Structure 1
Amino acid sequence: MKGVMVVLLFGVDLLVPFGSPSLLTLDDYPISLYYRDSRFSTVLWFRPPYCLYELWAAKTLHSSQIPRQAATIQMQVKLSGDNGVYKATQRFPVPMCSPTGAQSLALGDHAYEMGPALACLNDTCIKAVLPGRRYSIRFLLCNQDLTVLAATGWSRHFRTRDMPHDFRTMDVYFGGHSTEMLVVTALTSAAAFLLLGAAGLALVVRPP
């Protein structure tokens, strides 16, 4: 009987691939915006999942087979009232565990962008992120074969900003110049063009 048990256990061990990565679920992992006002009509900016790789590595025996440089972060997204699950169109690098205290709050490489477009999980469709809608997200840690190693729980809902009701409330800038400056520049250019045209015409039609 003992011999039969040993054979059965050995057979089970053969069914489990040696060195296969283990999935870690973190339902209470904190997910927040990069800073309080990092919300736009079609984009939300989130803090990277700091230490997610380290949490997974501390709970598995296979972390040495998957170095940080080979892993990536995927952001999955759910729209309130929609049963579908989508994903950010880009994958993100695994962040360092401890962000520096002098890190700037300016949006850049440190923030993870959700929007302005999302993709179906099977990459067969594109869905736009819309103003005034509520979205929840979760982070997935994946290896080089896109196998999910760790997953956070779904976040609370984050709402995109509404579109302004009055175009005059929009703070629009083009290349560092306001709309009023652009109008003045256009009028000045038109006046200069007319003066140059008049001068050229006078030279052509002047009497001999």
Structure 2
Amino acid sequence: MPPYCLYEAWMLQALDTSLAPRTTSLIEAQAQIVGNNETYVVPDKFNVPQCRSAYGEPSPTDPYVFQVGPNISNQNASQVIRIMPGTSYKIRFVLYNSVNTQIAYTNWSQPFQTRALPPNPREMPTTFEGRSGGMVVITVLLSISMFMLLIGLAVTFGTPK
């Protein structure tokens, strides 16, 4: 079940649904680094969206796509860390009512790994290994043509009329 249907799942099991009206309930995203049992939370809580059918996955521009990062903090907000590239995380979602009482939560997700950093431009190879012979010839011819054009321009402006 997608996290945006957490409220509906709670409604089906709740004995007293007046504890958490949809308009005042919030969803919090929690994260764990794989291999570390400390739970981190996303600083902002999200409004509870309407549940959609299982057939229609939300697009990234919909208001019920939850963004986790770049900063997360531990549960008492005493330590803030950044989501690190190339690190494995697990996520779960927790439903809170208006008095900030936890009323439902999802299971932890399967571990997923964030993307690694892109290569540093300074570490890229500077040799002509990846260049085709034709590309090198065209570059040399264009450079010579530009040099000749600048010489011709200098001669044109430098000669008296």
TM-score by length of 1: 0.53
Structure 2 spans left out of the alignment, 5+ residues: 123-161
Give the distance between the partners of 1:88 and 1:108, measured in 2 at CA. Answer: 19
Q: Cα deviation per residue 1:107-146 (whole Å; 9 max; x = unaligned)? A: 4523101110001100111011110111101110110111
TM-score of the pair, normalised by structure 2:
0.67
Give the aligned partner of residue 76 of structure 2: 122
TM-fit CA distance, 1:153: 0.8
Is the aligned partner of 1:157 residue 2:100? no
- Aligned to 1:53, what secondary structure does the other structure show? helix
Specify the SS of the correspondent of 1:68.
coil
Say which SS state the counterpart of residue 149 (structure 1) adopts. strand
1:111 maps to which of 42, 54, 65: 65
Give the corresponding residue for 2:127: none
Distance in 2, matches of 1:65 and 1:81, equals 35
- Secondary structure of 2:50's counterpart equals coil
Q: Of the candidates 38, 43, 59, which is equivalent to residue 13 of structure 2?
A: 59
- Do the aligned residues in 1 keep the contact of 2:4 with 2:64 (CA within 8 Å)? no
Aligned partners of 2:60 and 2:115: how far apart in 1?
19
Farther off after superposition, 102-111 or 117-126: 102-111
Please tell me the residue identity of whatever aligns with 1:110: Y
State which of 86, 90, 110 in structure 1 corresponds to 2:44: 90
Deviating 4+ runs (over 4 angstroms): 101-104
Tell me which residue corresponds to 1:189: none
Partner of 1:195: none
Residue number in structure 1 paired with 2:152: none
Q: Distance in 2 between matches of 1:134 and 1:62?
A: 38
Query: How many angstroms apart in 2 are the aligned matches of 1:63 and 1:56?
Result: 9
SS class of match (1:50): helix
> How far 1:105 sits from its partner (Å)?
2.6
Check conservation: 2:28, 2:96, Cα contact below 8 A. Answer: yes
Helix, strand or coil for the counterpart of 1:113?
coil
Instruction: Count residues in correspondence.
Output: 122
